[in-house]
């Protein structure tokens, strides 16, 4: 089966983008790894799949899938890519009112100069002082649900866990322990941050990708919430630098200690368009 795909980057987070006319969303799960295989064009796998539908009732329908076929979560960098894709394909107008419907939630979106901003509701859940026991070490971390599950820890905990012997893949190894920890029934994404001045350097191990990705938009949001609540960085706006080194900006809107909304802004771009061969799937 031949399929037209578009490869996109949201701050270095890579996606395969299709429409429901190419593949129905309910068919994605069985062929997700094939859709993410962009070696022939990009030299690597993409980190997720976006199905961008038509505009209905002033909303753009978008479905997001991990490379393992799992779905039902929000993807911040993917949402920005979906907006750019819809504008480039004439589905929505760049200057008009744009709303995306992803995983049962509606998100306003807008162009902000050269970046795209997505507005999120306040966190669904925000738990600080969560204690995990890993490798004989007690870790205090935070859990935040911003439409996707995230654990947030300082990168310095890696040295505490492994002490004198720090393996080359220590960050990934520790992230896997936490990702599959039994306290998280759905599993979780895991974020390791370090703060240098006003910038936050962030590495996110993504559930469903099972690796540290180039960037993670919802991870940036969750980390910003934790740093703001703990007053490590009390500013309402933060610059987040992911491994791709393409900055993301998080704005926290609030009344006192009550968060009213979160805004994620950053770049998105189309990298390539390709016709690929996929396994046959039934309509």
Where are the chain's structural domains? 2-114+269-277, 125-261
| Per-residue pLDDT, 262 | 98
Which tokens go with 37?
């295989």
pLDDT tens per residue, range 119-178:
999 999 998 889 988 777 888 899 999 999 999 999 988 888 877 677 778 899 999 999
What pLDDT score does 164 carry? 65
Fold of 125-261: Diaminopimelate Epimerase; Chain A, domain 1 (3.10.310)
- Residues ≥6 apart with Cβ < 8 Å to 90: none
Instruction: Say how far apart CA 82 and CA 50 lie, in whole Å.
Output: 7
Mean pLDDT, range 68-79, rounded to an integer: 95
* Sign of CA pseudo-dihedral 177, 211, 215, 83: negative
237-241/211-212 β-pairing: unpaired
State what percent of residues in the chain have pLDDT above 70: 99
Report which DSSP code applies to 52: E
Domains 2-114+269-277 and 125-261 share a fold: yes
> What is residue 137's three-state secondary structure?
strand
As a whole number of angstroms, the distance between CA 226 and CA 208 comes to: 23
Q: For residue range 222-267, what is the model confidence (pLDDT) as tens digits?
A: 999 999 999 999 999 999 999 999 999 999 999 999 999 999 999 9
Residue 119: how many other CB atoms lie within 10 Å: 17
Class of domain 2-114+269-277: alpha beta
The DSSP output letter for 243 is: T
What is the predicted pLDDT for the residue at 283?
53
Give residue 200's pLDDT: 97
| pLDDT value, residue 193 | 97
Write down the pTM of the prediction: 0.94
Q: What is the pLDDT of residue 61?
A: 94
Between 277 and 189, where is the model more confident?
Answer: 189
Contacts of 21 (CB under 8 A, 6+ apart): none
């Amino acid at each position: 089966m031949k399929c037209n795909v578009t490869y996109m980057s949201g701050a270095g987070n890579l996606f395969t983008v299709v429409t429901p006319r190419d593949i129905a969303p309910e068919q994605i799960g069985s062929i997700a790894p094939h859709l993410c295989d962009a070696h022939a064009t990009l030299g690597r796998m993409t980190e997720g799949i976006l199905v961008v539908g038509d505009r209905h009732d002033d909303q753009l329908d978008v479905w997001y899938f991990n490379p393992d076929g799992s779905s039902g979560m929000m993807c911040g960098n993917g949402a920005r890519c979906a907006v750019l894709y819809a504008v480039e394909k004439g589905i929505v107008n760049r200057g008009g009112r744009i709303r995306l419907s992803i995983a049962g939630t509606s998100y306003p979106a807008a162009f902000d100069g050269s970046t795209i901003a997505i507005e999120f509701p306040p966190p669904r859940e925000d738990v600080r002082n969560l204690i995990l026991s890993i490798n004989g070490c007690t870790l205090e971390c935070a859990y935040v649900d911003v439409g996707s599950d995230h654990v947030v820890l300082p990168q310095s905990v890696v040295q505490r866990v492994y002490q004198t012997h720090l393996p080359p893949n220590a960050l990934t190894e520790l992230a896997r322990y936490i990702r599959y920890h039994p306290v998280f029934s759905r599993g979780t994404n895991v974020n390791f941050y370090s703060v240098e001045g006003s910038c936050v350097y962030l590495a996110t191990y993504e559930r469903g990708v099972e690796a540290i990705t180039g960037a993670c938009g919802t991870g940036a949001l969750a980390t910003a919430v934790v740093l703001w609540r703990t007053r490590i960085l009390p500013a309402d706006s933060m610059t987040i630098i992911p491994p791709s080194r393409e900055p993301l900006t998080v704005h926290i809107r609030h009344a006192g200690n009550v968060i009213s909304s979160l805004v994620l802004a950053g770049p998105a771009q189309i990298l390539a368009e390709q016709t690929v061969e996929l396994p046959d799937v039934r309509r």
